[in-house]
A and B are shown apart, each in its own frame.
Chain A
Amino acid sequence: MSGSIWVLIEDQEGIASTTSLELLSAAHHFASEVVGVAFSKDGERLAKSLEPYGLTRLYNVEAERSSLPGVVLSAAMADLVKGSAEPPRAILCAQSYTGRDTLARLSVKLDLPVLTNVVNLFEQDGELMAEHAIFGGEEIVTSNFTHQGVRLFGVRAKSFAVEESDARQVAVESVKVEGLGAIDGAKVVASYSEERSGPKLDEAAVVVSGGRGLGQPENYAMVEELAKLLNAAPGASRAIVDAGWVPYAYQVGQTGKTVKPNLYIAVGISGATQHMVGMKGSKNIVAINKDKDAPIFQIADLGVVGDAHKVLPKLIDALKQR
Chain B
Amino acid sequence: MNIAVCVKQIPDPAAPGRLDPNTFNLVREGKLVMDDSDSYGVEMALQLVDRAGGGEVTLISMAPNGETSGLRTALAMGAAKAVLVSDPALGGSDALSTAKVLAAAILRNPFDMVITATESTDGYTGTVPVQIAEILGLPAVSFAKKVTLDGNKAMIERQSESGYDEVACELPAVVSVTAGVVEPRYPSFKGIMAAKSKPIETLSLSDLGLSADQVGAAGAREAIVSLRKAEARQAGQIIEDDGEAFAKIIEYLEQLKVV
- Residues of chain A touching chain B, judged by Cβ–Cβ distance below 8 Å, are 12, 17, 68, 70-71, 74, 95-97, 100-101, 103-105, 107-109, 111-117, 129, 133-135, 137-147, 154, 181-195, 205-206, 230, 238, 241-244, 247-249, 254-255, 262-263, 280, 284-286, 288, 292, 297-307, 310-311, 314-315, 318-319, 322
- A148's nearest neighbour on chain B, judged by CB, is B221
| 3 smallest beta-carbon distances between A and B, as pairs | A306-B241, A185-B170, A242-B180
B238 partner, pick from A68, A104, A143, A300, beta carbons under 8 A: A300
We find that the number of chain B residues with CB closer than 8 angstroms to chain A is 79
Known: A97-B142, A154-B127, A230-B259. A182 touches B228 (CB 8 A): no
Known: A140-B230, A284-B256. A146 touches B223 (CB 8 A): yes
State which of B54-62, B117-125, B191-199 sits at the interface with chain A: B117-125
Answer whether residue B169 sits at the interface, using C-beta atoms and an 8 A cutoff.
Answer: yes
Q: Which of A105, A144, A154, A288 is B134 in contact with, Cβ under 8 Å?
A: A105
Segment 231-257 of B: residues with Cβ below 8 Å from A: 232-233, 235-241, 243, 245-250, 252-253, 256
Write the nearest CB–CB distance from A211 to chain B, whole angstroms. Answer: 15
Q: Which residues of B contact A133 (CB under 8 A)?
A: 230
In the complex, the answer to whether B235 meets A100 with C-beta atoms within 8 Å is no
Shortest CB-to-CB span from A41 to chain B, Å, is 15
Asked if B159 is at the interface of the complex by the 8 Å CB criterion, the answer is: yes
**A contacts with B: majority SS:** mixed
* B235 A306 Cβ-Cβ under 8 A: no
Distance to closest chain B CB from A227 (angstroms): 12
Secondary structure of the B contact surface, majority rule: mixed
Bound form: Cα–Cα A285–B234 in Å: 11
Across the interface, which residues of A come within 8 angstroms of B259, CB to CB? 230, 319, 322
User: Can you report 17 residue pairs joining A to B where beta carbons are below 8 Å apart?
Assistant: A101-B130, A104-B134, A108-B99, A112-B96, A113-B96, A140-B228, A141-B226, A147-B221, A183-B140, A188-B165, A190-B166, A242-B180, A262-B258, A286-B249, A297-B235, A304-B245, A306-B240
Question: When the two chains form their complex, are residues B229 and A139 in contact, meaning their CB atoms are under 8 A apart?
Answer: yes
Least Cβ–Cβ distance between B55 and chain A, in angstroms = 20
B187 within 8 A of A: no
Q: How far is the CB of A75 from chain B (nearest CB, A)?
A: 10
A141–B160 CB distance below 8 A: no
Asked, given contacts A135-B17, A189-B167, A311-B245, whether A68 binds B131 with beta carbons under 8 Å apart, the answer is: no
Question: CB-CB < 8 A to B180: which residues of A?
Answer: 241-244
